[in-house]
Amino acid sequence: MEKYETKNRTKNVLRNMCISTVILFLGIILIFKSLKIKQGTQDILYTYNVNKDVNYTVNLVENEFFENPILDMDKTYISSLVDKINMNFTYSLHGNKKAKTKYIYQIVAVSTIKYADDKQDSEEPIWSKQYVILEPQTVDNQDSNFSIKENFDIDFATYNTEVKKFKEQLHLPVKADLQIKLIVRSDMDVPEVEDTVIENSIMNLKMDLAEDVFTIEKQFDNTDTESIFANTESSKEVNKPLVAIGGVLVIIAIMIMLDSVRRSIKFNKKSDYGIALNRILKNYGDIVAEIVSPVEIDNLNVIDVKNFDQLLDIEEEIRMPILFYETIPDEQGEFIIVCDNIAYRYVIG
């Protein structure tokens, strides 16, 4: 019977803990769902487009192989036959609002040499030199739209000879290239935009040097679009009824959990008390008398003993019955021997 009761109580505690856990999670979910985050918006304040283009022709030295001394773009060229390259860079910027714009641009050529052999290719240059093709040009523009057009010649033969000379004199395995760059920086003061809008652009053409043949590689995108946004911050909206329901469920779940823990502790305490009491009554029932009303000890000298064995020693010595009264049902009781005006007491539970 006792084992059945213990098993039944354990099942009830586990069931209540499971129910309270489900309620707790449901309450937490409702609280989180009640907090709705409203995402901020992005309003476009300013948009501008950048367009880039390049055209070039390759001029050859006098030779017996090509009747036409000028070759079109996007071909493979024989380095020893190339004299100059005529380039035409076009750059334009167009904004959707009027803006006071200051732009600076220049054209440079950069010759770079890197060490290269069969075992490794170095990414870091061992020699580099920059040549100014066009000095920096500064233009103040009252509009957000402007265009740059520059036509110039690149003395390819001179750059190529310089690198070949470096390679031959130092006897190093190298790779070299020449890059032609149009560099543009635009500062735009746009109404309604707090900070100056800055646009940095580079148009780059790259070609190999000190090789038998070469091609010209375009290293930029023809078009680009940029926008400046005004961001509004995210905000939180609270569904108060949902928060209240979730809060109530959380409180209910906590109360059920605490009650289950309390009952479990109380049950364990009662179980320990019941086991100890049954053991005493089973072994010493012939000398223990269970009574239904407490012993009046107000006028007696009460002596508390540490354990039931000490009470047995006293019973054997004075030959007085041991009286048992349950002071708290299923939780606490006391064994008493009364002799003259002395009460020997052992409390269990």
Q: What is the pLDDT of residues 218-249, one digit of tens each?
A: 999 999 999 988 765 555 677 778 777 877 88
Question: Is residue 256 domain-shared with residue 221, that is, in the same domain?
Answer: no
Backbone angle region of 302, left / alpha / beta, with phi > 0 → left and psi within -120 to 50 → alpha: beta
Q: Give me the residues paired with residue 333 across strands.
A: 348
Question: Is residue 269 domain-shared with residue 311, that is, in the same domain?
Answer: no
Question: Is residue 56 domain-shared with residue 162, that is, in the same domain?
Answer: yes
In the chain, DSSP finds a helix count (H) and a strand count (E) of: 4, 19
> Which among 197, 215, 231 is the end of a domain?
231
Q: How far apart are CA 116 and CA 173, in angstroms?
A: 5
Count structural domains, the chain. Answer: 3
**DSSP reduced 3-state for 141:** strand
Higher-scoring residue by pLDDT: 82, 247: 82
Inter-residue contact 330 to 271 (CB < 8 Å): no
Of 164, 165, 175, which Cα lies nearest the Cα of 121? 175
Question: Is residue 271 domain-shared with residue 323, that is, in the same domain?
Answer: no
In a domain, 129, yes or no: yes
At 303, list the tokens. 């002596």
Higher-scoring residue by pLDDT: 217, 229: 217
- Best mean pLDDT range from 13-27, 222-236, 328-342: 328-342
CA 114 distance to own-chain centroid: 40
Per-residue pLDDT, 41: 63
In a domain, 24, yes or no: yes
Q: Find the domain containing 327 and state its range.
A: 285-349
Question: Is residue 268 domain-shared with residue 219, that is, in the same domain?
Answer: no
Question: Is residue 188 domain-shared with residue 312, that is, in the same domain?
Answer: no
Question: Is residue 270 domain-shared with residue 289, that is, in the same domain?
Answer: no
Question: Is residue 257 domain-shared with residue 218, that is, in the same domain?
Answer: no
Question: Is residue 190 domain-shared with residue 249, that is, in the same domain?
Answer: no
**DSSP reduced 3-state for 323:** strand
Q: How far apart are CA 22 and CA 25, in angstroms?
A: 5
Confidence tier at 13 by pLDDT (50, 70, 90): low
Higher-scoring residue by pLDDT: 212, 291: 212
Per-residue pLDDT, 209: 96
Q: How far apart are CA 220 and CA 181, in angstroms?
A: 10
Model's pTM, two decimal places?
Answer: 0.57
Residue type, 264: S
pLDDT, tens digit, for every residue of 36-75?
666 656 678 899 999 999 999 999 999 999 999 999 999 9
Confidence tier at 184 by pLDDT (50, 70, 90): very high
Strands 301-304 and 342-348, bridge-based pairing: parallel
In a domain, 280, yes or no: no
In a domain, 290, yes or no: yes
At 20, list the tokens. 């309270």
Question: Is residue 175 domain-shared with residue 266, that is, in the same domain?
Answer: no
Inter-residue contact 307 to 344 (CB < 8 Å): no
